[in-house]
Amino acid sequence: MSKIKLFDPSINKSEYIALKKVLQSHFWASGIGNGEVEKFENKFLKYINSKSCVAVNSGTAALNLALSMYDIRNKEVILPSLSFVATANAILENGGIPKFADIDENTLCVDPKKISKLISKKTKVILPVHFGGISSDLTEISKLCKNNKMKLIEDAAHAAGTSYKNNKIGSHGDLVCFSFHPVKNLAMPTGGLISINSKDYKKISKILKEKRWCGITNRKGVNYDVKTIGWNYYMNEFSAAIGLVQLKKLTELNNKRKKIAKKYSNEILLENKMPFDNSCSYHFYWIRVKNREKFREELSKRGIETGIHYKPIHTFTLYKSKIKLPITERVAKEIVTLPTHPNITKRDLDKIIKTVNKFS
């Protein structure tokens, strides 16, 4: 019995050719050789239609750098708790205070009404996560940001290819952070990117490029200066070369994910499941079941891998607080994620749906 994986990057000959080219160039780091990183930034910029894009080596690096652009020391950042822990870690890393808001039960994205209750004089940033690829309510969240002079930084790790009101995610918030981790819709060995939409995008882009490489600036040959702290966050040429190939296929790959999600949505009998929305990238598909442990075990026995996204961040020792997030906590006990990757065959899909309906 072959296993149906939860995540699986879709590759063909083109990735091999792209990799070989970089390998043979002998220039593997960013900024030299074939210039794949810059090419990737330019192509992704065109794809999402923002003002500027800065490639980095992970979604985590993108979040850390994005938050480092606004002095959030002892300031509050509002985010959902139902996310990967990197979303909140980036706030701590920058000396900020995470404030977890509850989610909308329909989309599992952060609820603007819950956000507004948490806004205080100390709030500086709102950090929504486009959960599973469904866009957060950017209209309401942008209004809150504007009215309270806060910045909008989006965690778009799941949302490469998602649209919101006919514009691609990446073209809305001040800074939008993508992950190109191998499980993501646009897969690289490791990679991330910050998309910039603020008016001062030229300045921000310049600083981000310095920060992604140890703060190095004004480089002339072997001579350079350092004015700000920076890290080794730059994307390498192999990742960018694969990313260029994956970007060309992204619409096609996401269309396959949408087809899978549509079939889940139509044929899974459970009431509590991810809604179908043609503008969603469907990084995964979530359902909610009461008997989760047994349910996952039965699927696993039949070769179907499932996931749990996520254990809520506010329940981790590092983040433990007295806050109550009733919807997040309820969902977290029931959520199961199903595969949507483009390597799923029709047979796999029929098997998953049949098994889910049998054991849920």
Ligand X SMILES: Cc1ncc(COP(=O)(O)O)c(C=O)c1O
Q: Per-residue x/- mask for ligand X, residues 187 to 206, rule CB under 6 A?
A: -----x--------------
Q: Which is nearer to ligand X, 69 or 110 (CB)?
A: 110
* Crossing angle of the two packed helices 346-359 and 292-301, in degrees rounded to 10: 140
Residues 38-57 contacting ligand X, CB under 6 A: none
- Interaction between residue 59 and ligand X (CB under 6 A): yes
**Interacting span for ligand X (CB under 6 A) from 109-117, 154-162, 319-327, 328-336:** 154-162
Cβ pair 216, 230 in contact under 8 A: yes
Of 136 and 179, CB closest to ligand X: 179
User: In angstroms, rounded to a whole number, what is the distance separating the alpha carbons of residues 179 and 57?
Assistant: 9
Closer of 129 and 150 to ligand X (Cβ): 129
Residue number, nearest CB to ligand X:
59
**Nearer of residues 66 and 349 to ligand X, judged by Cβ:** 66
Residue 155 binds ligand X, judged by CB under 6 A: yes
Task: Give the C-alpha separation, 56 to 160, whole Å.
Answer: 15
Residue 270 C-beta: closest distance to ligand X, Å? 24
Give the closest residue to 285 by CA, choosing from 132, 103, 109: 132
Q: Does 179 bind ligand X (CB under 6 A)?
A: yes
Q: What is the DSSP string of 248-305?
A: HHHHHHHHHHHHHHHHHHHH---SSBPPP-TT---SSEEEE-SSHHHHHHHHHHTTB-
**What's the closest the beta carbon of residue 177 comes to ligand X, in angstroms?**
7
Q: How many residues bind ligand X (CB under 6 A)?
A: 14
- C-alpha 273/C-alpha 134 separation (Å) is 13
User: 41 Cβ partners below 8 Å, 6+ apart?
Assistant: 53, 54, 55, 193
Nearer to ligand X (CB atom), residue 137 or residue 268? 137
Residue 2 burial (10 A CB sphere; 0-12, 13-18, 19+): exposed
Shortest Å, Cβ 175 to ligand X? 14
Residue with Cβ nearer ligand X (58 or 360) = 58
Q: Does 168 participate in binding ligand X (rule CB under 6 A)?
A: no
Tell me if 181 contacts ligand X by CB under 6 A: yes
Query: Among 82, 129, 138, 241, which residue sits at the site for ligand X (rule: CB under 6 A)?
Result: 129
Q: Which is nearer to ligand X, 115 or 153 (CB)?
A: 153
Residues 6+ apart with CB under 8 A from 203: none
Q: Does 132 bind ligand X (CB under 6 A)?
A: no
Q: Omega into 310 within 30° of 0, i.e. cis?
A: yes
Near ligand X in 71-90, by CB under 6 A = 83-84, 86-87
Reduced to 3 states (helix: H, G, I; strand: E, B; else coil), residue 40 is: helix
Are the CB atoms for 95 and 72 separated by under 8 Å?
Answer: yes
CB closer to ligand X, 87 vs 94: 87
Q: Which is nearer to ligand X, 155 or 268 (CB)?
A: 155
Residue 232 Cβ, how far from ligand X at the closest point, in Å? Answer: 14
Pairing mode of beta strands 123-126, 76-80: parallel
Q: How far apart are CA 247 and CA 183, in angstroms?
A: 14
If one asks whether residue 337 binds ligand X (CB under 6 A), the answer comes out as: no
What is the number of residues in the chain?
A: 360
CB of 304 to ligand X, least distance (A): 21
Contact residues toward ligand X (CB under 6 A) are 58-60, 83-84, 86-87, 129, 155, 157-158, 179, 181, 192
